[in-house]
Structures are given as structure tokens and as C-alpha cells.
């Protein structure tokens, strides 16, 4: 079933990845392009945006790379202007940026709390602010916000209160936009990925293993813990997130609005 986003223009914010391999945004940008969309690949890191756009172009798709900090109004406005300048419309907005910072209320500093909320929540507010008027003029559009199961569960073994709270805010933002814009032909949904094996996880596992005596063993241990925590015995991948994003962005989800789609192999079914 190819061509589900034929002739659509999509912006994927956070379309790069933290390292080599397949992150959620990178897989989503490529999946959208494979289904016919023209894709604007936006990232804080120019090289990461260019890498994803280059992969799409190599497959014969249409893509443009754009460097922007999505937590800043000027960057987001420039992104929307550039997209309209090139393709005249915006059909899909996929908000994929997200950062974490460990610590509970006592350990976490105020600046870190603000930084996580700026990237994880303000970004989604700003992109919606600039994209919604365009979608309203078109009478159609779909927004996909990448949240996390950390918005509905506090996972064992890791404390990151700002991440939990910021992703909870993403869910609330998603439902509020869905309700406000439903009558204008615009849908807004969220994906709640579980434990996904993305370059960000490799980076965190590397960091954790850095000071251990047997580096490789420590890295493998961290990855094995995450695999074991999943009921399927294996973490998900960026492609699982991308396939969910494709469904929510496409007309197949025409009557799906304000939904929080859990993509976690079943972890949240467990106590």
C-alpha cells in the first residue's frame, strides 16, 4: 500500500538522530518520503538534518534539510517560512524532539527542569503556533506529537521527573489542540513509544559503560536490561514509531483525533 502520503508536504522536527543508526525522527522522515511525501527534515544539528534528507534523496524522494532550534520562536518561524517558500503547503507536522535529564524533584536543578520543558513542550507549542494557521487555511492537516510511556508510568530503575512531567504536558497539549481544531479539519494525535533501540539509547548505554572496567560487557548489560524489560524480549525500533506516525498522518486515521497511541510491545499492560 504505497503512496499513502502522495503529494503531501511533511515537516519532521528532530529528523536526525543522536548518533549513527535509526532514530524515531529519521525513520519517520524516511517512511513519510517512501509513502510519497515531500519531507522537510529539521534538526538542531545541520549535519543530522542533511544526512536524513540525503538518504531520502538517494532513494529518489524529495527532501530538504533545515537547521533550527525548535524551542526558539525565530527558528520555528523561519522553518515554516522556508517550507511554504519551497512547497507552498504543510500537510503533516511530526514533532519528534525530546531530551531527558535524570533526577527527582530534589536532585534536579531548576535550569535543567526549564531546559527539558523548553525542548520537550515549548517546541511543540511553537511549531503548532506557526503551522496551525497554515493548516487552517488549507482546511486540512495532521499533527503527530512524539510523547513517551514515561508520561503515564514512572519506570522502575530510572528517575527523570522533568521528562515524565514534560511528556505528560505533551499529551495534554495534544488533546487540547485536537479538540480546538477538529471542526477545521485538523487532527492532532500523540505516540507514546516504550523502550526503543535508537542511537540515543546507544549513546546513553555508552555513557553508562564509559567508566566501567569491562566497557563492552557493561554496554551489553544495559542493552540486555532494556530488552528483558520488554514483554516481547526485545526493544522496539525507530521503524515501529515511524509506522505509527504514518498511520496517524495518513487519511486512514481520518477519524482518529486526540488519541494517545502506545507503541511499547505491551510494557504498560504490566503492573
Ligand X SMILES: NC(=O)c1ccc[n+]([C@@H]2O[C@H](COP(=O)([O-])OP(=O)(O)OC[C@H]3O[C@@H](n4cnc5c(N)ncnc54)[C@H](O)[C@@H]3O)[C@@H](O)[C@H]2O)c1
* Assigned C-alpha cell, 48: 543530522
45 binds ligand X (CB under 6 A): yes
Q: Is 250 in the site for ligand X (CB under 6 A)?
A: no
* Helical (H) or strand (E) element with 93: strand 92-95
Q: What is the CA radius of gyration of the chain?
A: 18
Name which of 257, 94, 246 is nearest 186 in CA terms: 257
- CB contact at 8 A, 196 and 21: no
71 or 174: CB nearest ligand X:
71
Among 4, 11, 12, 25, binds ligand X (CB under 6 A): 25
Among the residue ranges 12-20, 172-180, 215-223, 247-255, the one whose residues contact ligand X (CB under 6 A): 12-20
CB-CB contact of 123 with 13 (8 Å): yes
Query: Footprint of ligand X on residues 184-223 (CB under 6 A)?
Result: 193, 195-196, 198-201
Closest residue to ligand X in the complex (CB): 98
Phi, psi (5° rounding) for residue 146?
A: -90, 110
Torsional sign, CA 137, 138, 140, 145: negative
Residue holding cell 523548553?
118
Q: Which of 160, 163, 181, 219 is catalytic?
A: 163
For the CB of residue 27, give the shortest distance to ligand X in the complex, in Å: 8
Stretch that binds ligand X, among 43-51, 58-66, 103-111, 134-142 (CB under 6 A): 43-51
Please state the separation of Cα 182 from the chain's center in Å: 22
The reply to whether 208 belongs to the active site is no
Alpha-carbon distance of 154 to 156, in angstroms, equals: 7
CB of 203 to ligand X, least distance (A): 8
Instruction: Tell me, residue by residue from 113 to 152, as one string, x for binding to ligand X by CB under 6 A and - for no binding.
Output: ------x---x----------------------x-x----
- What residues act catalytically? 163
Q: Which residues bind ligand X (CB under 6 A)?
A: 13-14, 16-18, 23-25, 43-45, 48, 69-71, 96-99, 119, 123, 146, 148, 193, 195-196, 198-201, 238
Amino acid at each position: 500500500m504505497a503512496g499513502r502520503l502522495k503529494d503531501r508536504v511533511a515537516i519532521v522536527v528532530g529528523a536526525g538522530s543522536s548518533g549513527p543508526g535509526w532514530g524515531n525522527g529519521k525513520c519517520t522522515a524516511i517512511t513519510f518520503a517512501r509513502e510519497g511525501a515531500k519531507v522537510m527534515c529539521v534538526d538542531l544539528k545541520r549535519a543530522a538534518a542533511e544526512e536524513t534528507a540525503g538518504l531520502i534523496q538517494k532513494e529518489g524522494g524529495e527532501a530538504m534539510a533545515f537547521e533550527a532550534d525548535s524551542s526558539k520562536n525565530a527558528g520555528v518561524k523561519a522553518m515554516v517560512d522556508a517550507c511554504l517558500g519551497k512547497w507552498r503547503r504543510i500537510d503533516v507536522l511530526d514533532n519528534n524532539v525530546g531530551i531527558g535529564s535524570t533526577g527527582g524533584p530534589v536532585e534536579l536543578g531548576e535550569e535543567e527542569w526549564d531546559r527539558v520543558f523548553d525542548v520537550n513542550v515549548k517546541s511543540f507549542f511553537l511549531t503548532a503556533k506557526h503551522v496551525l494557521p497554515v493548516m487552517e487555511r488549507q482546511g486540512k492537516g495532521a499533527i503527530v506529537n512524539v510523547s513517551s510511556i514515561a508520561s503515564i508510568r514512572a519506570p522502575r530503575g530510572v528517575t527523570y521527573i522533568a521528562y515524565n512531567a514534560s511528556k505528560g504536558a505533551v499529551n495534554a497539549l495534544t488533546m487540547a489542540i485536537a479538540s480546538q481544531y477538529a471542526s477545521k479539519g485538523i487532527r492532532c494525535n500523540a505516540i507514546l513509544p516504550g523502550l526503543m533501540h535508537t542511537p540515543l539509547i546507544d549513546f546513553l548505554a555508552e555513557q553508562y559503560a564509559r567508566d566501567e572496567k569491562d566497557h563492552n560487557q557493561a554496554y551489553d548489560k544495559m542493552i540486555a536490561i532494556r530488552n528483558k524489560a520488554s514483554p516481547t524480549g526485545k526493544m522496539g525500533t525507530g521503524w515501529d514509531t515511524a509506522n505509527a506516525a504514518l498511520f496517524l498522518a495518513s487519511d486512514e486515521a481520518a477519524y482518529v483525533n486526540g488519541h494517545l497511541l502506545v507503541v511499547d510491545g505491551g510494557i504498560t499492560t504490566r503492573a
